[in-house]
Amino acid sequence: MTTTPAIQIAGLTKSYGDHAVLRGVDLSVPSGTIFALLGSNGAGKTTAVKILSTLLKADGGTAAVNGYDVAGRPAEVRASISLTGQFAAVDEILTGRENLVLVAELRRIEDAGRVADDLLARFGLTEAAGRRVATYSGGMRRRLDIAMSLIGDPPVLFLDEPTTGLDPQSRIEVWETVRTLAGQGTTVLLTTQYLDEAEQLADRIAILHEGRIIADGTLAELKQLLPPTTVEYVEKQPTLEDIFLAIIGYDGREK
């Protein structure tokens, strides 16, 4: 069975002035999978996500989401996606439930209250529903942020650094949320600088470096890019961090 990939990018380029950030990015994300886009600070992850979510125009190349070209069919793309940005978009003054109802009403969903209550239950926020977001922990805010982005059941979800700044427990909570969504058929493209996050969550991993995708595959495939460990007393598989640093040619590590 062949299905259209949820996200398909070919030869994508983008410069800010004379700073070429994306220099020909190719990527294909199968429907219903979790795909992690890795890259250092400034690699262009957010730029790529903004182009895919129609917030920014590419200079060249093509990108399609849910079968729709981002340049030619932006309205259809926007109806197919949700974006949780690098910085949480929740309103602190409102309660968790009020945030959800507000977004549902903005999207002209009829039974906004019921949709809000369903999402609160799904994300373990029912007890906190009536509290102002200002009193939430970082993990609760992130979960609320992701819950807000799911209103309207978009098939493709972009999560730009969903767990940056969260403690390990909250990160695990967000991971569980993402796994559940993918299990229900949502395609998730997440960007991260945390290599263990990609290792834990992603079906496929791509590394964006100096404007191009320099590696793309499953974790097992990426592990094969390094020579197997030779004679060692303790058998040690390369971590994704080892692979990442080797691929980007970083050799300044301390012993």
Ligand X SMILES: Nc1ncnc2c1ncn2[C@@H]1O[C@H](COP(=O)(O)OP(=O)(O)OP(=O)(O)O)[C@@H](O)[C@H]1O
Site for ligand X, rule CB under 6 A? 16, 21, 39, 41-47, 86, 193
Q: Select 129 or 159, whichever has its Cβ closest to Mg ion.
A: 159
The encoded tokens of residue 89 equal: 């978009």
User: Nearest-CA neighbor of 38 among 185, 180, 173, 217?
Assistant: 217
Residue 102's φ and ψ, nearest 5 degrees, are -60, -50
User: Nearest-CA neighbor of 21 among 29, 32, 13, 30?
Assistant: 13
47 binds, among Mg ion, ligand X, none (CB under 5 to 8 A by kind): ligand X
13 binds, among ligand X, Mg ion, none (CB under 5 to 8 A by kind): none
Residue 237 CB, shortest distance to ligand X, in Å, is 26
204 binds, among Mg ion, ligand X, none (CB under 5 to 8 A by kind): none
211 binds, among ligand X, Mg ion, none (CB under 5 to 8 A by kind): none
Q: Coil, strand or helix: which one is 40? A: coil
Q: Select 37 or 150, whichever has its Cβ closest to Mg ion.
A: 37
| Binding window for Mg ion (CB under 5 A); candidates: 44-52, 130-138, 179-187, 204-212 | 44-52
Could you tell me how many residues of this chain bind Mg ion (CB under 5 A)?
2
39 binds, among ligand X, Mg ion, none (CB under 5 to 8 A by kind): ligand X
87 binds, among Mg ion, ligand X, none (CB under 5 to 8 A by kind): none
The encoded tokens of residue 60 equal: 């060249």
Q: Select 39 or 96, whichever has its Cβ closest to ligand X.
A: 39
Write out the E strands in the chain.
7-16, 19-29, 34-38, 60-65, 68-69, 81-84, 156-160, 187-192, 204-209, 212-217
DSSP one-letter string for 172-233: HHHHHHHHHHHHTT-EEEEEES-HHHHHHH-SEEEEEETTEEEEEE-HHHHHTTSPPP-S-S
Residue 213 CB, shortest distance to Mg ion, in Å, is 16
Q: Select 86 or 137, whichever has its Cβ closest to ligand X.
A: 86
| Binding window for Mg ion (CB under 5 A); candidates: 43-51, 126-134, 142-150, 165-173 | 43-51
d(Cα 59, Cα 144) in Å, to the nearest integer?
34
Residue of the chain from 46, 66, 99, 186 that contacts Mg ion (CB under 5 A): 46
Residue 17 CB, shortest distance to ligand X, in Å, is 7
**Gap between the terminal Cα atoms of the chain:** 48
